[in-house]
Amino acid sequence: MSIQDTQLNLSRRSLLKFGAGAIGTGVVTAGLGSNLLAAEKAPAEDEITPDKALQELLDGNDRFVKRKRRNGNQTYSRLVEVAKGQKPFASILGCADSRVPSEIVFDQGLGDLFVCRVAGNIATAEEIGSLEFGSLVLGSKVIMVVGHERCGAVEAAIKGAQVPGQIGSLLEAIKPSVESSKEQSGDKLENACKANILLQIKKLKSSPVLSKLIDEEKLTIAGGYYDLDTGKISLVN
């Protein structure tokens, strides 16, 4: 058996051991190369706890808000370093909105964040599979679902907008959040945005792969609400 075959067999066993059959075939195939091998060989000293990973995100956002960004891990030497393999400490499920770029608002750099972005920050099967991969294989210790102020997708769901193409599938995924928050006092759009964050967290926690990592205290999932006017991310519980 060749070295390459041995490596692939080891990688497959690593996935099966944790019950990762739910991860989409395309995602697994993409990761069965250098990413899996790098994750298996990652040095133990790089490990941080889920709580510390969450705090690092919040600290980075605080630097961004206070205009004290360090712009860490954005050098050419860092590019060369992570070209050999990645081990992001955090994953982000964020909205595709162009005003909320994760690496900037969290003051992170190359190889730090595993980011999935989709309009309305919804947890589709593909997004969940990607985040399972980011946590189980790459070792991300926290997943933050980041919604934001004045989200156009959530607003369209509130209005029941008639939209062309596949846009409607996004709105359908958000509608339960609109319903669950409609009796709340205060700003209707903000309430629905925050309810949507919590709904997507619930979907992520229903994943057997992610729930097992949470039970083993290897992962935490949190919600964040981004203020477009200030850049501040506040936790949503």
CA proximity to 174, closest of 145, 137, 206, 200: 200
Q: Is the dihedral of CA 153, 157, 159, 162 positive or negative?
A: positive
Based on its alpha-carbon atoms, the radius of gyration of the chain, rounded to whole angstroms, reads: 18
DSSP H or E stretch at residue 158? helix 152-159
Q: How many domains does the chain have?
A: 1
Does residue 235 register a pLDDT over 90? yes
Q: Is the dihedral of CA 37, 40, 41, 42 positive or negative?
A: positive
pLDDT digits (tens, 9 = 90+) for 183-216: 999 999 999 999 999 999 999 999 999 999 999 9
* The pLDDT value given to residue 48: 93
CB atoms within 10 A of CB 174: 26
Report the Cα–Cα distance between both ends of the chain, in Å, rounded.
51
- Residue 18, CB half-sphere, CA atoms under 13 Å: how many? 24
* The pLDDT value given to residue 125: 97
Task: Please say whether the beta carbons of 143 and 93 come within 8 A.
Answer: yes
* The pLDDT value given to residue 14: 44
pLDDT digits (tens, 9 = 90+) for 12-55: 444 444 443 333 333 343 444 444 444 443 334 357 999 999 99
User: Is the model more confident about 32 or about 65?
Assistant: 65
Cα torsion through 45, 205, 86, 21, rounded to 10: 110
DSSP H or E stretch at residue 235? strand 233-236
Angstrom distances, CA of residue 177 to CA of 43, 60, 113, 116, 124: 41, 29, 27, 20, 15
pLDDT digits (tens, 9 = 90+) for 137-159: 999 999 999 999 999 999 999 99
Helix%, strand%, coil% for the chain, nearest 5: 50, 10, 35
Does residue 4 register a pLDDT over 80? no
CATH number of the domain at 96, please. Answer: 3.40.1050.10
Does pTM surpass 0.85?
no
User: Is the model more confident about 2 or about 93?
Assistant: 93
Residues in the chain: 237
pLDDT digits (tens, 9 = 90+) for 106-130: 999 999 999 999 999 999 999 999 9
* The pLDDT value given to residue 85: 97
The two structure tokens encoding residue 125:
């099967």
* The pLDDT value given to residue 47: 77
Does residue 10 register a pLDDT over 80? no
* The pLDDT value given to residue 65: 98
Task: Please say whether the beta carbons of 154 and 196 come within 8 A.
Answer: yes
* The pLDDT value given to residue 46: 55
Task: Residue 87: give the domain boundaries.
Answer: 3-236
DSSP H or E stretch at residue 145? strand 142-148
